[in-house]
Amino acid sequence: LLLGLIALGLWVAWLALGVVARHWGEGRPGSGFIRKVRLASLELAGQPKALVWAGAGTIIVQSFLVLIAWRIGVACGIDVSLAVWAFGWTLGKVAAVLPLTQGGIGVREAALATALTPFGVPPAQAVAAGLVFECVIIIGGLLGGAVAWLTRPRSERL
């Protein structure tokens, strides 16, 4: 049901984008962006298997990130169910999209603390778990970048 509602919402947004793209005059602010998004969505609509694979991959990756963050929360002394954690973590991720800080750092943790407080989680522990998770992600990215750089041929290194 949830996936159906999401699909319906995306379809309505896609139709609305088409209406806006047709009626938004060329040269108006954002017209180039709207046209590019519309063309990209039409191209993607012609490749439903790619869309399904991308959606499935996204769900799998985000599920693993929630599990990692939950385990970090448990290690920080937070005792909530995975469902409660997934709820709070999802709200934190959505809040992090707001363009308030670099990469949403701080906003995500504040939203996580706010969402988990009604479930008996002290805000300081929620913020600590969020910051530890961020460190794990940053260190993982740095290690991955170092491996990629070190495994390149010498002639391609900067």
For every one of its 158 residues, what pLDDT tens digit does the chain have, with 9 covering 90 and above? 777 888 788 778 877 877 777 776 666 776 777 778 778 877 887 888 888 898 899 999 999 999 999 999 999 999 999 999 999 998 888 888 887 877 778 898 999 999 999 999 999 999 999 999 999 999 999 999 999 989 988 877 66
Alpha-carbon distance of 3 to 9, in angstroms, equals 10
Q: Is 68 in contact with 133 (CB distance < 8 Å)?
A: yes
Residue the block writes with tokens 């108006």: 28
